[in-house]
């Protein structure tokens, strides 16, 4: 190959890479939250004890039910976890959002606009990977998942576990 062809090919590849990087870094459209949807979610259970769990046996999860007893729709605007070893998902009305993680790990926590209609329920699934911290993660742990609501105080779901090898 001639040097001109090699240089031209390298320049073309660099232009494609730079163009892709700019395309991926564009701000995402923010979901619109209906200002009328400020119903309040409640949960009868907000803490769970997994007891003793083994790193070798892998990921464990727990589903918490959230209820909108209000006459207005409730909107979840953001979900995040307290540690990179934990993820959270939301499901309601046949739709699913997530998984979401810890702010600052794997990017920012995106805003969402997940509505739970009046007198309806949803599920917040908390997923914990006991092997995420390696041998340093053995012992008693406690983690949380925060669910922010439009115009309301956040809901916090917590769990604990005794992690064994």
- Contact in structure between 158 and 62 (CB atoms under 8 Å): no
**Digit-coded pLDDT (tens) for 60-95:** 999 999 999 999 999 999 999 999 999 999 999 899
Q: How far is CA 50 from the centre of its chain?
A: 20
- CATH architecture of the domain with range 41-164: Sandwich (2.60)
Grade residue 108 by pLDDT with cuts at 50, 70 and 90.
low
**Digit-coded pLDDT (tens) for 12-65:** 555 556 555 544 444 444 455 555 557 889 999 999 999 999 999 999 999 999
pTM: 0.76
DSSP secondary structure letter of residue 85 = T
Question: CB-based burial of residue 22 (10 Å sphere; 0-12 exposed, 13-18 middle, 19+ buried)?
Answer: exposed
DSSP secondary structure letter of residue 32 = P
DSSP secondary structure letter of residue 83 = S
**Which segments within 3-151 are labelled E, that is strand?**
41-42, 47-54, 60-68, 74-81, 86-92, 95-100, 114-116, 121-128, 139-149
- Contact in structure between 137 and 28 (CB atoms under 8 Å): no
Hey, where are the domains in the chain? 41-164
């Amino acid at each position: 190959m001639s040097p001109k062809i090699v240089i031209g090919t390298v320049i073309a590849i660099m232009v494609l890479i730079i163009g892709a990087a700019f395309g991926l870094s564009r701000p995402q459209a923010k979901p619109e939250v209906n200002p009328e949807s400020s119903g309040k979610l409640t949960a009868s259970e907000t803490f769970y004890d997994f007891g003793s769990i083994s790193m070798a046996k892998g990921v464990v999860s727990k589903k918490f039910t959230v209820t909108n007893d209000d006459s207005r729709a409730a909107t979840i605007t953001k979900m995040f976890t307290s540690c990179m070893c934990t993820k959270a998902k939301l499901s309601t009305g046949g739709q699913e959002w997530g998984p979401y993680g810890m702010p600052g790990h794997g990017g920012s926590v995106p805003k969402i606009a997940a509505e739970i209609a009046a007198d309806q329920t949803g599920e917040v699934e908390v997923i914990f990977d006991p092997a995420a911290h390696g041998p340093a993660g053995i012992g008693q742990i406690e983690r949380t998942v925060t669910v922010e609501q439009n115009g309301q105080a956040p809901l916090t779901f917590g769990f604990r576990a005794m992690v064994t090898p």
